[in-house]
Amino acid sequence: MEKIGFIGMGNMAKALASGFIKSGKMKGENVFAYAPHQDKLKENAKNIGFTPCASLQDLVSAVDTVIMACKPQQVESVLQGLVNAYDRTGDPAEVTPDTPSMLDGKTLISIALGWDFAAFEKKLGPKVRVQFIMPNTPAMVGSGVMLFEEKNSLRAEERNEIKALFMALGMVAEMPSNLMGIGGAITGCGPAFIDMMIEAYADAAVKYGIPRALAYPLVSQTVMGTAKLQLITGLHPGVLKDQVTSPAGSTIRGVTQLEKSGLRDACISSIDAIMEWKKG
**pLDDT tens for each residue of 120-142:** 999 999 999 999 999 998 988 88
Query: How many angstroms separate the CA atoms of 150 and 153, rounded?
Result: 10
Domain assignments of the chain as residue spans, ordered by start: 4-175, 191-279
Query: How many angstroms separate the CA atoms of 149 and 155, rounded?
Result: 14
Query: What is the per-residue pLDDT across 49-70, written as a single tens digit (0 to 9) for each?
Result: 999 999 999 999 999 999 999 9
Rounded to 10°, the helix 212-233/237-244 angle is 130
- The number of residues in the chain equals 280
Which fold does the domain 191-279 belong to in CATH? ProC C-terminal domain-like fold (1.10.3730)
- H or E segment to which residue 172 belongs: strand 170-175
For residue 198, the Cα-to-chain-centroid distance in whole angstroms is 21
Mean pLDDT computed over every residue of the chain: 94
Predicted pLDDT of residue 139: 86
- H or E segment to which residue 78 belongs: helix 75-81
pLDDT at 90 over 80: no
CA dihedral sign of residues 184, 68, 171, 17: negative
What are the counts of helices (DSSP H) followed by strands (DSSP E) for the chain?
Answer: 11, 8
Predicted pLDDT of residue 275: 94
Question: Which of the four pLDDT bands, split at 50, 70 and 90, describes residue 192?
Answer: very high
pLDDT at 227 over 80: yes
Predicted pLDDT of residue 87: 65
pLDDT at 200 over 90: yes
Predicted pLDDT of residue 168: 87
Residue type, 208: Y
Predicted pLDDT of residue 46: 95
Q: What does DSSP assign to residue 3?
A: -
Average pLDDT score over residue span 183-207: 97
Average pLDDT score over residue span 150-173: 94
At 35, give phi and psi (nearest 5°): -150, 150
Pick the CATH number of 4-175 from 3.40.50.720, 3.40.50.9100, 2.40.110.10, 3.30.70.890: 3.40.50.720
The SS3 assignment for 101 reads strand
Predicted pLDDT of residue 184: 93
Q: What does DSSP assign to residue 275?
A: H
pLDDT at 88 over 70: no
Query: What is the per-residue pLDDT across 27-41, written as a single tens digit (0 to 9) for each?
Result: 999 999 999 999 999
pLDDT at 3 over 80: yes
Residue type, 61: S
